[in-house]
């Protein structure tokens, strides 16, 4: 059977771990040094409450519901926990067909 090719776009804040996630999955490695993928950053700083905390799983699930994502998963590129499952879910979503609806070009996970 011929391989099916799909384009996967990873979106997220700067330094949130996009490159590490892809590297953990595709090369089974965790990059030792952080090198920004963007060559030029234009940054305007604004402090809201003076602290930055990691989001909790329930906040992540709420956000996934808000944006109409097909799924929500947690993973660690560093320990590789859940990385394979993330890409399995992405693959299933990409292969999913929507009956009775117009073809959608994009699924959100």
Residues that bind ligand GTP (CB under 6 A): 12, 14-20, 34, 36-38, 76-78
| C-beta of 3 vs 33, nearer to ligand GTP | 33
| C-beta of 36 vs 59, nearer to ligand GTP | 36
DSSP state of 106: -
Q: Which positions ≥6 away from 58 have C-beta within 8 Å? A: none
Nearest distance from residue 70's CB to ligand GTP, in Å? Answer: 21
Backbone dihedral angles phi then psi of residue 4, each to the nearest 5 degrees? -100, 130
How far is 65 from 26, CA to CA, in rounded Å?
28
Nearest distance from residue 80's CB to ligand GTP, in Å? Answer: 9
| Location of structure tokens 């009775």 | 100
- Number of helices (H) and strands (E), helices first, in the chain? 3, 0
| C-beta of 18 vs 61, nearer to ligand GTP | 18
| C-beta of 37 vs 97, nearer to ligand GTP | 37
Nearest distance from residue 104's CB to ligand GTP, in Å? Answer: 26
Q: How far is CA 17 from the centre of its chain?
A: 9
Nearest distance from residue 40's CB to ligand GTP, in Å? Answer: 11
């Amino acid at each position: 059977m011929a391989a099916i090719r799909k384009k996967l776009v990873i979106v997220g804040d700067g330094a949130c771990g996009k490159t590490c996630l892809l590297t953990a999955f595709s090369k089974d490695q965790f990059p030792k040094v952080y090198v920004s993928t963007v060559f030029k950053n234009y940054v305007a700083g604004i402090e809201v409450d003076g602290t930055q905390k990691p989001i909790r799983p329930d906040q992540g699930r709420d956000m996934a519901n808000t944006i109409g994502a097909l799924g929500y998963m947690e993973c660690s590129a560093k320990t590789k926990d859940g990385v394979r499952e993330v890409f399995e879910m992405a693959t299933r979503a990409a292969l999913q067909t929507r009956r009775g609806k117009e073809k959608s070009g994009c699924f959100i996970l």
